[in-house]
A and B are shown apart, each in its own frame.
Chain A
Amino acid sequence: MARSLTTYLDDLRDSRVWRSIFRSGPGQSNLHRALVVQSNVFLHLFSVKARKRVLDFSVTWYLGALTFGAFLILVITGVLLMLYYHPSVPLAYSDMKDLEFVVSSGVFLRNLHRWSAHAMVLLVFAHLAKVFYRGAYRPPREFNWVIGVVLLLLTLFLSYTGYLLPWDQLAFWAVTVGSNIASAVPLLGHHIRFLMLGGNLVNANALLRFYVLHCMILPLAAILFIAIHFWRIRKDGGLYAGAPTTTAEKEAER
């Protein structure tokens, strides 16, 4: 009988190189499973164990996870789109045409980025509503709710700044309408608008600013706050599992 795939995988995970990278070897014990999470810089944001109840679909609808999934798709497709994009007028628009007619799967890439962006905005709103209606914002999770609101705003700004980048009529006028709203702020309105657009009108300066915000500043801010958001789940006692069951939990959740 040939060795099974599992044993090969175990051999790999037992190798010196694997151990040097992942800091844990093969094994199926709970200790090993805990170490996989604990000794990984990304995974250690999460707790080692979770209440069994939170796995039920009805508890979270997996909305937070799905929002993060949409964000991952956006990062990957976004980086690929950056390879074909010049943030200047009118090159930006001809790059859209290149995506359509020259780049392999260019249309698909842009479509996926666009629809994922809409999906992420929808998912963030759904996540907020679900967390609210379950009462999962209550102490000790109140600050994680605030971080969630910050992430909602970041998502909206990310989507809004990305809207201008194709530099077509739809983009130009949508951003014009949006930036006019900013100028309604008393006293500072026009200054805010000037700062936002790098001028008094939506022009090449605005495109460059939106590009930098969309591809650098806002994604980095989002990643930072997502990391805090995940980490706070662990620090605040794990994923909220719904109505408390034991007396002590009832006391604690009050």
Chain B
Amino acid sequence: MSDDKDFVAGFDSNARKAPVRVAFVTRRTSPQVKVADEDQVMTHPGVFLRVAVAVELLTIALVTLALAWDAPLEGLADPMHTPNPAKAPWYFLGLQELLHYFPPVLAGVLIPTLVVLALIVIPYFNINIQAESLWARDGAKRLRIVVVVAVALSVFLAFFDVWVALVPTVIIAVVMFLAARSSSQSASAMRRWLYSKPLSFWIMTWFLAEAAVLTAVGTFFRGPGWSWVWPWRS
């Protein structure tokens, strides 16, 4: 069906503008206008029942965990005796790992603030909403930009000896290169999929990979004096 119209039919209450009460709702102005209905279920009981079952299963899993595994409790808090290493809760260990490399203002304040701001603004950029393949237009030029950014980032990370953060960066850069060398006609479905991904996908995937790696390193691979330890050689 060829349908390249920039509007859909709808209703308007402004009689002067649309005297026959048929107006043109331009794109992005009304999410509610639909041509055809799709299958629906009643929220009660259709959705509620399934959610209840899901929550039940979660409860069973957590109760089992709580019966099998005790929460840690160490000795009474003692301000005079600092454990080595002193670690933050696991979800902040990525940050603590960054603090090991960068000055506190950068790692403890600037980076977290920028991450939160970046998360908030995601849906307000049209580039993220259209979600067009990164290579759809000016593919060669964009690949050059990506290579420059990846090299600059790698040099920066290497300069501060952040080898653990360099690994995901390089892997993502290589996969991006592979994606740029693919097309929507590639033989492999994997490469077609990679090719179709927009810029926001790559940034988010890089960020999540970094967060996971840094958190894992901070949790399992850091010992006294924040030195590198192998968890299986304790």
Task: Give the B-binding residues of A (Cβ under 8 A).
Answer: 30, 33-34, 36-37, 43, 46-55, 62, 65-66, 68-70, 72-73, 89-90, 93, 96, 100, 107-108, 110-116, 118-119, 121, 128-129, 132-133, 135, 137-142, 145-146, 149, 152-153, 156, 159-160, 163, 166-174, 176-178, 180-182, 184-186, 201-203, 236-237, 241, 245-249, 251-254
Contacts and interface: CB of A to CB of B under 8 A. Distances in A.
B8 A50 contact: no
B124 interface: yes
Given A139-B31, A149-B120, A251-B27, A90 B76 contact: yes
A68 B59 CA distance: 12
Contacts of A149: 116, 119-120
Give the most central of A93, A114, A153: most B CB within 10 Å. A114
Interface in B42-66: 42-48, 50-51, 54-55, 58-59, 62-63, 65-66
Interface of B: 1, 3, 7-8, 27-28, 30-36, 38-48, 50-51, 54-55, 58-59, 62-63, 65-67, 69-79, 81-83, 86-92, 95-96, 99, 104-105, 108-109, 116, 119-120, 122-124, 128-131, 200-201, 204, 208
17 contacts: A52-B38, A62-B50, A66-B55, A66-B58, A108-B66, A128-B119, A137-B122, A145-B123, A156-B91, A168-B73, A168-B77, A172-B77, A172-B78, A177-B87, A241-B38, A248-B34, A251-B8
Given A90-B76, A172-B78, 19 more contacts: A51-B40, A51-B41, A62-B51, A68-B55, A69-B55, A73-B59, A90-B77, A93-B77, A110-B71, A112-B62, A132-B204, A137-B123, A159-B89, A170-B73, A174-B86, A181-B95, A182-B108, A246-B36, A253-B31
A168 B74 contact: yes
A6 to B, nearest CB: 14
B31 A160 contact: no
Given A163-B89, A248-B34, A169 B81 contact: yes
B120 A140 contact: no
A50 B105 contact: no
B27 A254 contact: yes
A9 B43 CA distance: 21
Nearest to B50: A55
A107 B208 CA distance: 34
Contacts of B31: 139-140, 236-237, 252-253
A139 to B, nearest CB: 6
10 nearest A-B pairs in the assembled complex, by CB-CB distance:
A184-B104, A142-B123, A69-B55, A172-B77, A111-B66, A114-B71, A173-B86, A52-B39, A112-B66, A181-B108
B71 A174 contact: no
Given A48-B42, A149-B116, A249-B34, A141 B54 contact: no
